């Protein structure tokens, strides 16, 4: 079983921490909503108060201007103005002076109708005369007459900014293509206008007021305005916003009048009315900091008293999974994890004891099984060899009989010695070579047995006894039984990265594919579950190799390059996981 690491996002520690944050989050959100609601409520109250004052001022200013335009238009119909414009030679100086006096009185009455009006002047360009409500009669210079006649301004629906005043003009006739007979100009004093604006701006509260022309955004009048307030202008006709003016933050409320084509902006220092709210803001940040500290404290507490002990326990299980049965875990504090740690240690001790018992029993069973399997080697070769020796003696072929008897003695000595269950592969190869030479003498030209050179690494491998000679015997008895001549059996040694291979290939009739599949299937099933029936031949060898070298080791069959049968012995090297797994049972 592979080690499985719990993802960080799935740990109990993170889940508890997220649960705690989720519990705190509604309280924090409610506090934030209450704070924002308070800020919005204060802002709305200030906006409504400031906007209502500005609306009242703009409405009053619009009413004044409309009244001024009505009085101007009415003055155009004054008989005295007509008489002065149509002055005839029959008029006496007294009559002329009387008309000027009455016209001046009317213009002065218009001037007195509003505190904003600086003066009202009637111009009669054809007679180079002008009558002022405040300054009386005077003559016009040639330049004044020329400028007035050439001016395209005949009537103003909204006040026009002219130097230090706002101008309202009414002409007769008011067509730009005709020369005016008389013109009335009404000047609105910017100083008086600024004075009226000062009623909206309280200097002690740091308020500022700016009146603009909407057409070109130019400033008409301003009270206590800083450079930042003068430079900023709204893009909409009404509304509110916050602007930065140096280190100050201003609350700007703006409104406009379409009749005057003017916009009024009032700037209020946000600290004046948001000051009390800022106290709540400080409490809110204190609450946020406190909540953060609580979360940090809870996370540290959760980590030290729950997550860390759990991690220790999980790591202990991983060590146990890797086979470390000597591991013990301890906890200084007396809590639930102390109870779990103690039971873990007791469980490991019992498990280690049980595995040790099973392991020892398994070793004893394997030794007994190897003894039994070695005794099942096919004895037909011995019978045939003794018959061959009998014929040689009978034919008085003493020289070959001596050789055969010596090799048979060595053969008997090897297979009957039971002092060791395993031998070096080099000894096993010597025994196979001895067997091959006996068979070569017995079969003559019918068979050629070849055993390749054994690499140095192979010679020091300990293997179960009698695993090579039966492969040669199987090739001769089953693979080459139908061959009358030119039979061959080759044994090769190949080293791979994780295993040693011993290959035995013959040039006999081989096996059908379905027979190979069936045979390999039987070998595989033997590896996965030990049989309770007697096994011989290839299965005998395969089973012993599987017991010695672990799962995956043993015999596999395939078709050789010459069409015969190729038998492979795979021996996994020491230190491979399969070996340690098998050794533990």
Domain stops at, among 289, 323, 344: 289
Residue 332 placed within a domain? no
The pLDDT of residue 13 is: 64
* pLDDT (mean) for 49-60: 90
Q: Are 569 and 501 in contact (CB under 8 A)?
A: yes
User: Are residues 18 and 153 part of one domain?
Assistant: yes
User: Are residues 398 and 249 part of one domain?
Assistant: no
| CA 464 vs CA 1, 50, 421, 545: distances in Å | 29, 105, 6, 7
User: Are residues 383 and 280 part of one domain?
Assistant: no
Distance from CA of residue 335 to its chain's centroid? 38
User: Could you give phi then psi for residue 257, rounded to 5 degrees?
Assistant: -125, 120
Q: Which long-range contacts (CB under 8 A, 24 or more apart) does 340-347 make?
A: 340/313, 341/313, 344/313, 344/316
User: Are residues 404 and 268 part of one domain?
Assistant: no
For the beta carbon of residue 397, count every other beta carbon within 10 angstroms: 14
Beta bridge partners of 447: 487
Q: Using H for helix, E for strand and C for coil, what is the string for 401-449? A: HHHHHHHHHHHHHHHHCCCCCEEEHHHHHHHHHHHHHHHHHHHHHHEEE
Residue 4 placed within a domain? no
The pLDDT of residue 275 is: 65
The pLDDT confidence band at residue 1, using thresholds 50, 70 and 90, is very low
Which among 360, 281, 257, 367 is positioned nearest to 35, based on CA atoms? 281
User: Are residues 42 and 149 part of one domain?
Assistant: yes
* pLDDT (mean) for 357-374: 61
The pLDDT of residue 3 is: 43
Q: Are 401 and 386 in contact (CB under 8 A)?
A: no
Which among 493, 509, 485, 494 is positioned nearest to 560, based on CA atoms? 509
Pairing of strands 554-559, 487-495: unpaired
Q: Is the model more confident about 2 or about 108?
A: 108
Residue 87 placed within a domain? yes
The pLDDT confidence band at residue 15, using thresholds 50, 70 and 90, is confident
The pLDDT confidence band at residue 105, using thresholds 50, 70 and 90, is very high
User: Are residues 564 and 470 part of one domain?
Assistant: yes
Q: Which long-range contacts (CB under 8 A, 24 or more apart) does 80-89 make?
A: 80/106, 81/122, 81/124, 81/182, 84/124, 84/127, 84/129, 84/131, 84/182, 85/124, 85/126, 85/127, 85/181, 85/182, 87/127
Domain range for 460: 375-583
Q: Which long-range contacts (CB under 8 A, 24 or more apart) does 387-390 make?
A: 388/441, 388/442
Q: What is the largest CA-CA distance in the chain?
A: 190
Q: 0.75 cut: is pTM over it?
A: no
Q: Is the model more confident about 473 or about 88?
A: 473
The pLDDT of residue 117 is: 92
Strands of the 262-269 sheet, one edge to the other: 219-223, 208-213, 262-269, 248-257, 239-245
User: Containing H/E element for 394?
Assistant: helix 380-394
| Residue-averaged pLDDT of the chain | 80
Distance from CA of residue 514 to its chain's centroid? 55
* pLDDT (mean) for 163-176: 85
Say how far apart CA 28 and CA 16 lie, in whole Å: 18
Residue 552 placed within a domain? yes
The pLDDT of residue 62 is: 93
User: Are residues 396 and 272 part of one domain?
Assistant: no
CATH number at residue 487: 3.30.565.10
Domain stops at, among 262, 289, 316: 289
User: Could you give phi then psi for residue 539, rounded to 5 degrees?
Assistant: -65, -35
- Residues, the chain, total? 585
Say how far apart CA 98 and CA 105 lie, in whole Å: 11
Say how far apart CA 548 and CA 462 lie, in whole Å: 10
Is the predicted pLDDT of residue 173 greater than 90, yes or no?
A: no
Which among 300, 288, 235, 242 is positioned nearest to 263, based on CA atoms? 235
Terminal-to-terminal C-alpha distance of the chain: 15
Residue 363 placed within a domain? no
Which among 518, 583, 516, 513 is positioned nearest to 553, based on CA atoms? 583
User: Are residues 55 and 181 part of one domain?
Assistant: yes
Q: Are 480 and 447 in contact (CB under 8 A)?
A: yes
Residue 520 placed within a domain? yes
Residue 273 placed within a domain? yes
pLDDT digits (tens, 9 = 90+) for 299-335: 887 777 777 787 787 888 888 777 777 778 887 777 7
What percent of the chain is modeled with pLDDT above 90?
15
Is the predicted pLDDT of residue 374 greater than 80, yes or no?
A: no
Is the predicted pLDDT of residue 80 greater than 70, yes or no?
A: yes
Q: Are 510 and 560 in contact (CB under 8 A)?
A: yes
Which among 403, 408, 357 is positioned nearest to 382, based on CA atoms? 408
Beta bridge partners of 503: 492, 568
User: Are residues 285 and 419 part of one domain?
Assistant: no
pLDDT digits (tens, 9 = 90+) for 523-576: 777 544 444 433 456 777 887 787 788 777 889 899 888 888 999 999 887 533
Say how far apart CA 96 and CA 127 lie, in whole Å: 12
Give 335's Cβ-side CA count (13 Å radius). Answer: 9
What percent of the chain is modeled with pLDDT above 70?
86
Give 442's Cβ-side CA count (13 Å radius). Answer: 24
Is the predicted pLDDT of residue 247 greater than 90, yes or no?
A: no
Is the predicted pLDDT of residue 200 greater than 60, yes or no?
A: yes
Q: Which long-range contacts (CB under 8 A, 24 or more apart) does 31-34 make?
A: 31/284, 31/287, 32/284
User: Are residues 426 and 278 part of one domain?
Assistant: no
Number of domains in the chain: 2
* pLDDT (mean) for 34-48: 79
Residue 444 placed within a domain? yes
3-state secondary structure of 57: helix
> Encoding tokens for residue 520?
């390999």
For the beta carbon of residue 205, count every other beta carbon within 10 angstroms: 11
User: Containing H/E element for 200?
Assistant: none
pLDDT digits (tens, 9 = 90+) for 221-232: 999 888 888 888
The pLDDT of residue 151 is: 84
The pLDDT confidence band at residue 185, using thresholds 50, 70 and 90, is very high
The pLDDT of residue 203 is: 62
User: Are residues 275 and 380 part of one domain?
Assistant: no
Burial degree of 346 (CB within 10 A; 0-12, 13-18, 19+): exposed
Q: Which of 275-284, 443-452, 470-479, 563-572 has the lowest mean pLDDT?
A: 275-284
Domain stops at, among 289, 322, 339: 289
Give 557's Cβ-side CA count (13 Å radius). Answer: 26
Is the predicted pLDDT of residue 577 greater than 70, yes or no?
A: no
* pLDDT (mean) for 101-113: 91
User: Are residues 277 and 409 part of one domain?
Assistant: no
Burial degree of 6 (CB within 10 A; 0-12, 13-18, 19+): exposed
């Amino acid at each position: 079983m592979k080690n499985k690491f719990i993802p960080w996002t799935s740990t109990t520690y993170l889940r508890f921490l997220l649960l705690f944050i989720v519990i705190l989050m509604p309280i924090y959100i409610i506090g934030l909503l209450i704070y924002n609601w308070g800020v919005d409520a204060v802002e709305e109250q200030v906006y409504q108060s400031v906007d209502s004052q500005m609306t009242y001022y703009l409405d009053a200013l619009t009413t004044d201007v409309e009244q001024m335009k009505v009085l101007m238009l009415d003055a155009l119909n004054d008989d005295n103005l007509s008489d002065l414009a149509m002055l005839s030679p029959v008029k006496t100086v007294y009559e002329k002076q009387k008309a000027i006096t009455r016209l001046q009185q009317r213009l002065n009455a218009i001037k007195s109708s509003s505190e904003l009006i600086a003066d009202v002047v009637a111009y009669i360009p054809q007679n180079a005369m002008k009558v002022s409500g405040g300054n009386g009669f005077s003559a016009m210079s040639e330049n004044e007459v020329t400028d007035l006649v050439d001016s395209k301004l005949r009537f103003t629906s909204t006040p026009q900014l002219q130097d230090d005043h706002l101008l309202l003009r009414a002409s007769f006739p008011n067509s730009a293509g005709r020369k005016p007979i008389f013109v009335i100009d009404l000047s609105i004093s910017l100083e008086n206008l600024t004075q009226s604006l000062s009623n909206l701006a309280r200097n002690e509260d740091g308020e500022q007021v700016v009146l603009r022309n909407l057409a070109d955004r130019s400033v008409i009048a301003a009270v206590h305005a800083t450079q930042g307030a003068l430079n900023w202008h709204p893009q909409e006709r009404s509304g509110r916003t916050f602007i930065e003016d140096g280190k100050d933050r201003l609350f700007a409320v703006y409104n406009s009048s379409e009749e005057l084509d003017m916009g009024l902006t009032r700037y209020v220092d946000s600290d004046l009315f948001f000051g009390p709210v800022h106290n709540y803001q400080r409490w809110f940040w204190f609450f946020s900091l406190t909540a953060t500290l609580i979360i940090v404290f809870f996370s540290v507490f959760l980590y030290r008293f729950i997550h860390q002990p759990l991690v220790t326990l999980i790591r202990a299980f991983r060590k146990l999974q890797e086979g470390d049965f000597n591991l013990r875990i301890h906890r200084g504090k007396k809590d639930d994890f102390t109870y779990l740690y103690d039971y873990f240690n007791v469980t490991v001790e019992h498990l280690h004891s049980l595995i040790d018992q099973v392991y020892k029993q398994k070793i004893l069973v394997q030794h007994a099984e190897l003894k039994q399997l070695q005794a099942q080697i096919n004895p037909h070769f011995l019978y045939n060899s003794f018959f061959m020796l009998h014929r040689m003696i009978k034919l008085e072929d003493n020289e070959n009989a001596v050789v055969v008897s010596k090799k048979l003695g060595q053969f008997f000595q090897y297979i009957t010695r039971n002092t060791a269950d395993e031998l070096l592969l080099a000894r096993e190869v010597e025994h196979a070579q001895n067997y091959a030479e006996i068979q070569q003498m017995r079969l003559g030209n019918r068979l050629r047995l070849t055993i390749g050179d054994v690499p140095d690494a192979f010679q020091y491998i300990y293997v179960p006894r009698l695993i090579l000679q039966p492969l040669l015997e199987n090739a001769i008895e089953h693979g080459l039984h139908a061959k009358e001549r030119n039979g061959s059996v080759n044994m090769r040694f190949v080293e791979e990265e994780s295993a040693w291979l011993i290959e035995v290939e013959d040039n006999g009739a081989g096996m059908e594919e379905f027979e190979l599949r069936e045979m390999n299937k039987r070998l595989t099933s033997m590896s996965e579950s030990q049989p309770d029936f007697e096994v011989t031949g290839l299965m005998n060898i395969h089973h012993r190799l599987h017991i010695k070298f672990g799962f995956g080791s043993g015999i596999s069959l395939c078709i050789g390059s010459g069409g015969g049968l190729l038998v492979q012995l795979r021996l996994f090297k020491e230190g491979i996981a399969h070996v340690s797994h098998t050794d533990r049972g």
